[in-house]
Amino acid sequence: MKLDSYWLDTAPRFSKPAHEPLAGRVDVAVVGGGFTGLSAALELAKRGKSVTVLEAGRLAAQASGRNGGHCNTGVAQDYASLAARLGSERASEFYRAYAGAVETVKSIIQEEQIDCDLRHSGKIKLAAKPQHFDSLAKSYEVLKREVDPDVELVPRERIREEIASDGFFGGLVQRNGMQMHMGKFGVGLGEAAARRGARIYEDTPVTGLKPLGGNAFEVQTARGTLRADRVLIATGTSQVGPLQWFRRRIAPVGSFIVATEPLGKERLDALLPTRRSYVTTRHIGNYFRATPDERLLFGGRARFAMSNPRSDEKSGRILRDGLAAYFPQLADVRIDYCWGGLVDMTADRLPRAGQHEGLFYSMGYSGHGVQMSVHMGRVMADVMFGAAARNPWRTLEWPAIPGHFGRAWFLPLVGAYYRLQDVLH
């Protein structure tokens, strides 16, 4: 069993990293070489802007290359609850932003001819308890009436049309969704940005950001210093660099994934007849999908802990048990990959984007980042040059998480709370 991301292990390496010392001036410096930063760099370079991307490690190797591979419509919260809390108009605006984000991903793949095993699949949310199906039914009514007439409610007696498991009590299908190979997509996005003229540096952590007035900054790295007329922070949960203001507002929650040995088309078609993206309704739930080479990828918040090799291996054992519980027919299947990553969770599970003390930023995707990160990269290319109204999250306040100063000491408490909620509800 490899303690490596399946996406990263089976993707080519980025072929066009910059190697020359950093110097001079650029229109935009992007801090972070994940989907947000690369999407922004691509859009800016297409518009003729000089742009440099500074990635502390390997391109698209953190959340962008360590996720579950789902790209779907849908906010991170139950839509009916979100509408009740924020009002229908605002909730529908956020939902439509996610629908638009899926289209952004699709358009970039087509325009740049990125080879990433794109597949249109949709998503089903699976009710883990009978009462959860009642909640899905309420969301279905609101969604169908207000924002998404193409949703479908699948009762328990028909759930085996969707999945060969007796562990669920129905589901909610949202058809606007895709799957792709995350590693290939990340590299393809970087290659496209580089072709358009963006300079992309790997292994180049930012060590300092010195304000120069207005939106301009001196960006300091071990490879040299760069003057940027604008800086976009696209780092998610990164613990590298002078980003304390952002760290206090994001809880870095570990999410863990295993990938089975190849199961073959016939076996996977029997397990997952519709080959959708799947997510369960528990607070500490699971998400899964098939991979392009016929594996089952199965993930979840197995443990409320940071990701590291020891933590990943412990989480892998928990996930294997969870996989066997839902699919007893896979109890003896070999696990080839096990890995973890960090989700940049905000307190209300909604993204944040805007400007703070001259720095532009977009992050906090809270487990729904594949589509929204790519979309917000393109949006921030507009925002940085005067189109603030393009940002769907511009009106959201972003206070620091009480008692959080960068180290998520409270994660075990959060995990205990959610485990209790799963027992009670």
CATH code, domain carrying 119: 3.50.50.60
Distance CA 84, CA 198 (A): 43
From 345, 373, 53, 362, select the one nearest 185 (Cα to Cα): 373
Q: Is residue 363 part of a domain?
A: yes
Residue 56 included in any domain: yes
**Domain of residue 107, residue span:** 6-414
Q: Which residues pair with 216 in a beta bridge?
A: 213
- Asked, for residue 1, whether it belongs to a domain, the answer is no
Examine residue 209 and state whether it is found in any structural domain, yes or no. yes
| Tens digit of each residue's pLDDT (9 = 90 or more) over 211-236 | 999 999 999 999 999 999 999 999 99
pLDDT of residue 419: 64
Q: Report if residue 99 sits inside a domain.
A: yes
Which pLDDT tens digit goes with each residue over 139-175? 999 999 999 999 999 999 999 999 999 999 999 999 9
Residue 423: inside a domain, yes or no? no
pLDDT at 410: 65
* One-letter-per-residue 3-state SS of the chain: CECCCHHHHCCCCCCCCCCCCECCEEEEEEECCCHHHHHHHHHHHHCCCCEEEECCCCCCCCHHHCCCCEEECCCCCCHHHHHHHHCHHHHHHHHHHHHHHHHHHHHHHHHHCCCCCCEECCEEEECCCHHHHHHHHHHHHHHHHHCCCCCEEEEHHHHHHCCCCCCCCEEEEECCEEECCHHHHHHHHHHHHHHCCCEEECCCCEEEEEEEECCEEEEEECCEEEEEEEEEECCCCCCCCCCHHHHCCCEEEEEEEEEECCCCHHHHHHHCCCCCEEEECCCCCEEEEECCCCCEEEEECCCCCCCCHHHHHHHHHHHHHHHHHHCHHHCCCCEEEEEEEEEEECCCCCCEEEEECCEEEEECCCCCHHHHHHHHHHHHHHHCCCCHHHCCCCCCCCCCCCCCCCCCCCHHHHHHHHHHHHHHC
| Domains of the chain: total | 1
pLDDT one digit per residue (tens) for the chain, 425 residues: 899 999 999 999 999 999 999 999 999 999 999 999 999 999 999 999 999 999 999 999 999 999 999 999 878 678 888 999 999 999 999 999 999 999 999 999 999 999 999 999 999 999 999 999 999 999 999 999 999 999 999 999 999 999 999 999 999 999 999 999 999 999 999 999 999 999 999 999 999 999 999 999 999 999 999 999 999 999 999 988 999 999 999 988 888 999 999 999 999 999 999 999 999 998 778 999 999 999 999 999 755 566 777 778 888 889 999 999 999 999 999 999 999 988 899 999 999 999 999 999 999 999 999 999 999 999 999 999 999 999 999 999 999 998 887 776 666 666 665 566 666 56
425 assigned to some structural domain: no
pLDDT of residue 418: 55
Does 367 fall in a domain? yes
